[in-house]
Structure 1
Amino acid sequence: MASASRQLLARCMSTSAASAKKLAIKHVTVIGGGLMGAGIAQVAAATGHTVVLVDQTDDLLKKSSKSIEDGLKRVTKKMFADKPEAASQFIAKTLSNFSTSTDPAAVVHSTDLVVEAIVENLEVKNELFKRLDKFAPEHTIFASNTSSLPITDIANSTTRQDRFGGLHFFNPVPMMKLVEVIKTPMTSQTTFDSLMDFSKALGKTPVSCQVNCCAFMSG
């Protein structure tokens, strides 16, 4: 019993120490390959993050990948208007940071951040996060892109409410600079700061929100 108590205490101390330090998000898993999810994946890969985009079928992921390639071509036309070789290199480098999967549980084992951008259904989102909570590492932050559902209600489906927040992007993601970073009463300051830093690393302008206070801006 004494040994078990010591182990539990050590684990709690380790968790506390880990949560006190901001997480440098490098590996991102995006769940949902629709318009928003593909846009988030594109921007994250273009800014040097390792990205895995997850959806239900390979056919859906092929469409998402095509959407991302087309999006990169549009972006590079402006970034490298007179430098086609530089544009090609940028696209190739971005795509090298990007991969796809139909098995979210298999790819979250080494991720720093999970961003969910699936159907706006609380039950479906809760089921997804409850499952991923069992496979993701302790340090992994969960975030939802929802614009209408309470982040707190989604976070409650997991055991990591302190490492759960909202990242509400606007459409089209590659073009729109604003990102609402949503903090619930349970979100730790460390998690919130990490999400703010991540948003800035994407080249976005993060706006601090409490719970879903800014969601009405999504229109």
Structure 2
Amino acid sequence: MKVAVIGGGRMGAGIAQVFLAKGAHVTVREPEEDAARERIERGLRIAAGKGGLSVDQALARLELGEVPGDAELVVEAVPEDPALKVRVLAEAEKRVGADAVLATNTSSLSVAELSAGLRRPERFVGMHFFNPVPVQKLVEIVVTPATAVLPLVRGYVELLGKTGVVINDSPGFATSRLGVLLGLEAIRMVEEGVAAPEDIDTAMTLGYGYPMGPLKLGDLVGLDVRLAIADYLHHKLGPRFEPPRLLREMVARGELGRKSRKGFYAW
């Protein structure tokens, strides 16, 4: 199988890694090629430490460069900028064959709107992977009324050993819509002095069995990312997604979570 991934950041590198681990030939398009290769190789070596993977064989199937014309699947994993996504998807579609599947890894943007520049929207779908990709077992498969490749995409998800859930295209899909709402309310609780971040998170992990509390998860995802998604959902779905003042202030101060080493926690 030949796969192309557009974007070699944390998500793109993770997507490339899991396909490489399953024997696919993967091309990654990323301006910072050395950084992308390093991320992928580091991830493969961590996975190899758990057994059953040859790093050298996987890396031999990795290329950095333009989307190849014979790619069967193209996964776009660039930042959550609608105009950027529309542009790179349209460019990729021109490079591949008519039977190729194009997918976006967006966590909240409308898949139908992202298909605006495509000639073959029936070959387009959302494949929302979760961070870190090699560990997380879920993929949201987001379909529009035009989507005609669902069986193929289910097969790709099964190949990776992950579970796919099918979601009709709507703002925030299922996971971002529910997860962001919980995260925003947790931030409001901190803002109102209800409890400390650690206690709110412990209440959810021990009381509800969550693997990670909503505030620590926000730090991990990036509070700037959480704010951007909340602003988008606020615009699309109304006041229940209005970002708390505290979130805006923290992002303005550069307190973005793990990436800046400071958020609701010190990293």
TM-score (norm 2): 0.63
Deviations 1:142-186 (CA, angstroms, capped at 9, x unpaired): 100001210000112101111000000000000111111111111
Report the residue type matching 2:55 in the other structure: I
Report the residue type matching 1:42 in the other structure: Q
Aligned to 1:197: 155
Q: Give yes or no for contact 2:77–2:106 (8 Å, CA) kept in 1.
A: yes
Do structure 1's residue 209 and structure 2's residue 167 form an aligned pair? yes
Report the residue type matching 1:165 in the other structure: V
Name which of 39, 42, 45 aligns with 2:14: 39
1:130 CA displacement: 1.9
Matches of residues 1-219 of structure 1 in structure 2 within 5 Å? 26-56=1-31, 60-79=32-51, 90-101=54-65, 103-104=66-67, 107=68, 109-188=69-148, 191-212=149-170, 213-214=173-174, 215-216=176-177, 219=180
- SS for the counterpart of 1:79 is coil
Q: Give yes or no for contact 1:147–1:218 (8 Å, CA) kept in 2.
A: no
1:216 CA displacement: 2.3
For 1:132 and 1:120, the matched residues in 2 are separated by 17
1:45 CA displacement: 0.7
1:79 CA displacement: 2.3
Q: Give yes or no for contact 2:30–2:36 (8 Å, CA) kept in 1.
A: no
Q: Give yes or no for contact 1:168–1:181 (8 Å, CA) kept in 2.
A: yes
- Percent identity of the aligned residues? 34
1:98 CA displacement: 1.1
Question: What's the C-alpha RMSD, in Å, of the aligned pairs?
Answer: 1.4
1:192 CA displacement: 0.8
Report the residue type matching 1:94 in the other structure: A
For 1:124 and 1:194, the matched residues in 2 are separated by 26
For 2:30 and 2:160, the matched residues in 1 are separated by 22
Aligned to 1:5: none
Mean Cα displacement is larger for which, 199-208 or 29-38?
199-208
Deviations 1:35-83 (CA, angstroms, capped at 9, x unpaired): 0000000000110111001112xxx111111111111121122226xxx
Report the residue type matching 1:50 in the other structure: H
Name structure 1 gaps, 5 residues minimum. Answer: 1-25, 81-86
Report the residue type matching 2:59 in the other structure: L
Name structure 2 gaps, 5 residues minimum. Answer: 181-267
- Higher Cα Rg: structure 1 or 2? 2
More strand by share: 1
Residues matched between the structures, number: 177
TM-score (norm 1): 0.77
1:217 CA displacement: 5.2
For 1:148 and 1:208, the matched residues in 2 are separated by 14
Q: Give yes or no for contact 1:170–1:218 (8 Å, CA) kept in 2.
A: no
Aligned to 1:9: none
For 1:63 and 1:76, the matched residues in 2 are separated by 20
Report the residue type matching 2:57 in the other structure: K
